[in-house]
């Protein structure tokens, strides 16, 4: 320990923003300084107040404050140490078949009448053995597709198996909502089951992106309203995929979500995956265009909040992670990614993937990212190769980034776009998207933009009640 105590300071990072220098410590605690702070830091010319600011960040320490270092160490290790696998979220694809053919379909779905794309009794038996070994406590099962409601019989059997081998469970059916049969409705009546669907905007946008038919688009909206009326807003959620059809008109999209009664929207760019690689090739690589859309949307969402609660899911997630240290389960927005630690995806053929995007890349034969299957179990060697890359704390670019402690690492997206993940991070889609959002948030903090800070506080508490907890920011 004596080797590094002689330096009297711990690792920190900085970024120039809004005419200030933002400084973060190893765990993401932050403070703001004048632009000449670094020169003065290394020339021992800090004011007493600045010394105290650095001490409070556990960056500067002396013999009387070594405890700060121990505290920092404990927090770093809590964030990064390897934890025992405890799966609590399983995404299942009981069928790859789908009755729609969306322009951006990321998994290259199979035609609705094709054979060989559904789970069989053999898959069910292997799934039961697999989850029996996982010793599940509470588990959430998300039925993805294809369109999972094409096989309600399989869904019912999977639910039975899950209930048998977990202490408690809940279920999500990701459906395109084109059809609600009595068999599907029987499932929807369960209290432990919710529905997630895709609504990309107006009827014409839905037709352009998803259905190729105004009648089918209208039917989806009718079914959505039916579910909403019969079961209430907690039963169903929706999210859009942003394509050329919406990117220049965020207001129209947001108006539709407000009119449908939503209090949240997850603005998702079209991924560079599956069919989108061809159908939305240019847009899926234009990060500046995405960032512009995102800023316009956030400004509109701020206005919506003058009369009601309404958040943007991803910004809220990031804010809660920065200011409340709230953990999240997204493998592409945490570091270490810890693939297969708490989440896994099981495909229609029994192959196991660390994320849905990894499944997508494998499906189009870009790279085989399966990390096992229901037959032979998890391929720990292959998984550890992925996990070795899924950590930003050691990446030669990320280690210098002020946002490293708050950010994640998305090696699956890097592989998809650049065919490798040892790329210059500042040039990647993921890094540019993240940097833009972090700069947006921290610029509001640095300039003490009260209107935005009030909104951040409300999103952190998921409440419309005003809060004066501005000390959370600085």
Binding residues for another protein, rule: CB under 8 A, are 1, 3-4, 7, 9-14, 16, 26, 38-39, 42-43, 72-73, 76-77, 80, 393-394, 399-400, 424, 426
Find the shortest distance in angstroms from Cβ 285 to another protein: 18
Q: Which is nearer to another protein, 1 or 259 (CB)?
A: 1
Distance, in Å, from the CA atom of 331 to the CA atom of 343, rounded to the nearest integer, reads: 8
CB of 86 to another protein, least distance (A): 22
Residue 13 or 320: the one with the smaller Cβ distance to another protein is 13
Nearer to another protein, 398 or 455 (CB): 398
Q: Which is nearer to another protein, 10 or 211 (CB)?
A: 10
CB of 433 to another protein, least distance (A): 19
Q: How far is the CB of 1 from another protein (least distance, A)?
A: 7
Comparing CB distances to another protein, the nearer of 43 and 48 is 43
Query: Residue 437: which of 293, 294, 253, 271 has the closest Cα?
Result: 294
Least distance between another protein and beta carbon 10 (Å): 6
Q: How far is the CB of 38 from another protein (least distance, A)?
A: 5
| CA pair distance 160, 316, nearest whole angstrom | 35
Closest to another protein by CB, 58 vs 198, is 58
Q: Are 141 and 158 in contact (CB under 8 A)?
A: yes
- Shortest Cβ distance from residue 26 to another protein (Å)? 6
Compare residues 181 and 426 and give the one whose CB is closer to another protein. 426
CB of 384 to another protein, least distance (A): 17
Residue 472 CB neighbours (<10 A): 15
- Give the nearer residue to another protein in terms of CB position, either 11 or 377: 11
Q: How far apart are CA 210 and CA 171, in angstroms?
A: 24
Nearer to another protein by Cβ, of 240 and 336: the residue is 336
d(CA 355, CA 347): 11
* Three-state secondary structure call for residue 74: helix
Q: Residue 451: which of 254, 292, 294, 302 has the closest Cα?
A: 302
Relative to beta strand 268-269, strand 241-242 is parallel
| Cβ atoms of residues 209 and 180 within 8 Å | no
Phi, psi dihedrals of residue 262, rounded to the nearest 5°: -75, 150
Nearest distance, CB of residue 65 and another protein, angstroms: 15
Distance CA 419, CA 409 (A): 16
| Phi, psi (degrees; rounded to nearest 5) at 402 | -60, -25
Backbone angles phi, psi at 183, to 5 degrees: -65, -40
Q: Give the CA distances from residue 363 to residues 21, 144, 351, in Å, rounded to whole numbers and listed in that order.
A: 45, 14, 11
Yes or no: say if 467 and 450 are a contact pair by the CB < 8 Å rule. no
Residue whose CB is less far from another protein, 26 or 439? 26
Nearest CB to another protein, comparing residues 7 and 48: 7
Q: Which position has the token pair 């265009």?
A: 289
Q: Assess contact for 10 and 3: CB atoms under 8 A.
A: no
Compute the least distance from the CB of residue 194 to another protein, in Å: 39
How far are the Cα atoms of 142, 220, 331, 404, 453 from residue 171, in angstroms, in the given order?
Answer: 6, 21, 20, 34, 35
- Token code pair at residue 29: 């605690």
Contacts of 185 (CB under 8 A, 6+ apart): none
To another protein, the closest distance from the beta carbon of 423 in angstroms equals 12
Give the angle 366-368-369 at the CA atoms, nearest 5°: 115
Contacts of 34 (CB under 8 A, 6+ apart): 20, 21
* Residue closer to another protein (CB basis): 274 or 389: 389
Map tokens 């034969």 to a residue: 365
Q: Closest Cα partner for 318 from 435, 446, 172, 397?
A: 435
Closest distance between another protein and the C-beta of residue 178, in Å? 48
């Amino acid at each position: 320990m004596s080797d590094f105590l002689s330096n009297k300071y711990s690792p920190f990072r900085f970024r120039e923003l809004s005419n200030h220098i933002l400084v973060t410590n190893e765990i993401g605690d932050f403070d703001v300084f004048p632009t000449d702070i670094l020169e003065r830091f290394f020339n021992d010319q800090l004011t007493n107040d600045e010394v105290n600011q650095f001490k409070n960040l556990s960056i500067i320490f002396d013999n009387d404050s070594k405890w700060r270092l121990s505290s920092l160490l404990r927090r770093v290790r809590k964030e990064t140490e390897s934890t025992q696998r405890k799966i609590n979220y399983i995404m299942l694809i009981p069928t790859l078949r789908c009755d729609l053919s969306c322009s951006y379909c990321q998994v290259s779905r199979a035609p609705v009448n094709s054979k060989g794309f559904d789970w069989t009794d053999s898959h069910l038996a292997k799934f039961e053995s697999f989850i029996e070994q996982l010793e599940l406590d509470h588990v959430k099962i998300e039925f993805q597709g294809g369109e999972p409601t094409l096989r309600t019989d399989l869904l019912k059997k999977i639910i039975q198996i899950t209930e048998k081998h977990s202490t408690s469970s809940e279920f999500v059916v990701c459906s395109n909502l084109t059809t609600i049969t009595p068999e599907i409705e029987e499932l929807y009546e369960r209290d432990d089951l919710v529905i997630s669907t895709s609504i990309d905007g107006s009827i014409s946008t839905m037709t352009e992106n998803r259905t190729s038919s105004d009648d089918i688009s209208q039917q989806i909206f009718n079914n959505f309203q039916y579910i909403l009326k019969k079961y209430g807003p907690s039963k169903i959620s929706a999210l859009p995929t942003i394509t050329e059809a919406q990117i220049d008109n965020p207001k129209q999209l947001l108006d539709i979500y407000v009119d449908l009664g939503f209090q949240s929207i997850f603005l998702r760019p079209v991924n560079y995956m599956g069919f989108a690689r061809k159908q939305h090739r240019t847009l899926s690589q234009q990060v500046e265009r995405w960032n512009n859309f995102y800023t316009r949307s956030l400004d509109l969402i701020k206005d919506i909040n003058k009369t009601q609660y309404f958040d943007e899911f991803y910004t809220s997630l990031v804010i809660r992670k920065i200011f409340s240290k709230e953990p999240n389960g997204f493998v592409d927005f945490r570091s270490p990614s810890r693939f297969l630690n708490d989440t896994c995806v099981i495909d229609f053929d029994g192959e196991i993937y660390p994320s849905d995007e990894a499944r997508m890349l494998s499906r189009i034969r870009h790279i085989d990212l399966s990390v096992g299957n229901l037959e032979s179990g998890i391929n720990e060697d292959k998984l550890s190769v992925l996990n070795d890359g899924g950590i930003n704390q050691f990446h030669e670019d990320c280690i210098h980034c002020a946002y490293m402690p708050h950010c994640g690492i998305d090696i699956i997206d890097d592989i998809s776009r650049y065919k490798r993940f040892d790329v210059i991070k500042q040039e990647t889609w993921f890094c540019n998207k993240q940097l833009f959002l972090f700069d947006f948030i921290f610029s509001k903090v640095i300039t003490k933009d009260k209107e935005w800070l009030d909104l951040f506080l409300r999103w952190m508490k998921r409440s419309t009640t005003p809060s004066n907890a501005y000390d959370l920011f600085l």
